[in-house]
Amino acid sequence: MTDLLSHDSLRELLDTGIALARGAGAILLDGLNQIHAGNGGALRFKSSPGDVVTEYDQRSEDFIVSELRRRYPAHAIVGEEGGAYAAGGPASAPAHYEWQIDPLDGTTNFLHGFAMFSVSIGLLIDGVPAVGVVYSPATNDLYAAARGLGATWNGRPIHVSCVDALERALLITGFPYDYAQSPHNNLRAFDAFNRRSQAVRRIGSAALDLCLVASGQMDGYWETKIKPYDIAAGIVIVREAGGVVTDSAGGDTMLASGDIVASNGLIQSAMLDVLSTLQT
Ligand code: IPD
Ligand code: CA
Ligand code: CA
């Protein structure tokens, strides 16, 4: 592994992520003000009428990608709206350093002027989440972490909760865009967790969901059909806050499978048990 894993180098990469998340957040905040003023801007639909992309998703991504390419020309970048980039052209070979960017996580909320949306910037080093920044510009909440350096919320160290029974846990989840078309739409799991936990919430930004677990505001989160750019940053933040992140079988395939369970660690096996009963 390269010297970029030293604490100083990780700190520098984290500072870059923080600066870019704040810059992209300012772009989104301008957009939010326009929306509140009745000027929504250009829209386009992706997989379904519920899967919308605004001009601000693209502007935010363009800003982050151009800055990353200027600062780290040898790093690969995967952005939700632009696909893959590497030095000099589209990425083909796996890179040691790969940025996973969701320039606007929670587009539906943004479109409605609802404050729960974020910028998510994660860095994988040799395929493992190593640096993560999630910024909520409307509330000015910034969550950040790098491997071995701990996790912070607005600069203060954070830790996961100490709730040790699923029955007393507050959980959060999300639903895929093919909800209406696919039977694998998380509804059975939602029902099962609703019965077994204290309550389940849904706010509409997976990156923020993970940060809510990291900061102890939620005790657990699960989702399916999620993309690497939704979760790469949040995985580091949860782990550095003392939490546990696995796939629904307890493995480590979250980025490849899109299947994720994150918690304070104390309720992880109980969450996996609930999900395992649904697979039979
Ligand atoms: C979505 C949000 C939502 C989650 C969806 C994601 P987007 O991302 O994170 O919470 O439930 O699965 O696709 O489309 O707003 O970037
Ligand atoms: Ca997303
Ligand atoms: Ca997005």
CATH number of the domain that residue 248 is part of: 3.40.190.80
From the CA of 24, the nearest ligand is 3
Statement to judge: residues 95 and 208 lie in one domain: no
Statement to judge: residues 193 and 151 lie in one domain: no
Residue closest by Cα to atom 16 of ligand 1: 105
Per-residue pLDDT, 264: 98
Q: The domain that contains 34 carries what CATH number?
A: 3.30.540.10
Statement to judge: residues 170 and 59 lie in one domain: no
Among residues 64, 266, 234, 78, the alpha carbon closest in space to that of 165 is found at 266
Statement to judge: residues 52 and 147 lie in one domain: yes
Among 109, 226, 231, the mutation site with the greatest number of ligand 1 atoms within 8 A of its Cβ is 226
Per-residue pLDDT, 3: 46
Number of domains in the chain: 2
Residue finishing a domain among 131, 157, 183: 157
Statement to judge: residues 145 and 42 lie in one domain: yes
C-beta separation of 149 from 143 below 8 A = no
In this structure, what token pair is assigned to residue 246?
Answer: 């696995």
d(CA 150, CA 19) in angstroms, rounded, equals 18
Per-residue pLDDT, 53: 87
Per-residue pLDDT, 280: 53
Per-residue pLDDT, 169: 98
Statement to judge: residues 150 and 83 lie in one domain: yes
Residue finishing a domain among 137, 157, 177: 157
From the CA of 203, the nearest ligand is 1
- Per-10-residue mean pLDDT of the chain, 280 residues long, equals 70 98 97 86 69 90 95 94 68 78 96 96 96 98 98 98 98 93 93 98 98 98 97 98 98 98 98 90
Per-residue pLDDT, 39: 79
Statement to judge: residues 153 and 170 lie in one domain: no
- Cβ-count burial 102-135 (b if 16+ within 10 Å, e if not): bbbbbbebbbeebebbbbbbbbbbeeebbbbbbb
Amino acid at residue number 174: G
Per-residue pLDDT, 43: 67
Which residues have any ligand 1 atom within 6 Å of their CB?
A: 102, 105-107, 174-176, 204-206, 223, 226, 230
Q: Residues in the chain, how many?
A: 280
* 66 contacts: CB under 8 Å, gap ≥ 6: none
Statement to judge: residues 112 and 215 lie in one domain: no
Statement to judge: residues 99 and 203 lie in one domain: no
Statement to judge: residues 114 and 174 lie in one domain: no
| Planar angle of CA 194, 200, 202, nearest 5 degrees | 135
Cβ neighbours around 23 below 10 Å, total: 15
Residue finishing a domain among 126, 157, 188: 157
Decide the pairing of beta strands 97-105 and 118-125: antiparallel
Q: Which atom of ligand 1 is closest in space to residue 117's alpha carbon?
A: 15
Mark out the alpha helices in the chain (DSSP H runs): 7-36, 55-71, 107-111, 187-196, 206-214, 228-240, 254-257, 268-278
Domain that holds residue 267: 166-277
Mind giving me the DSSP string for 150-166?
A: EEEETTEE--------G
Per-residue pLDDT, 189: 97
Statement to judge: residues 98 and 218 lie in one domain: no
Among 102, 105, 177, 209, the mutation site with the greatest number of ligand 1 atoms within 8 A of its Cβ is 105
Element (H, E) at 45: strand 43-45
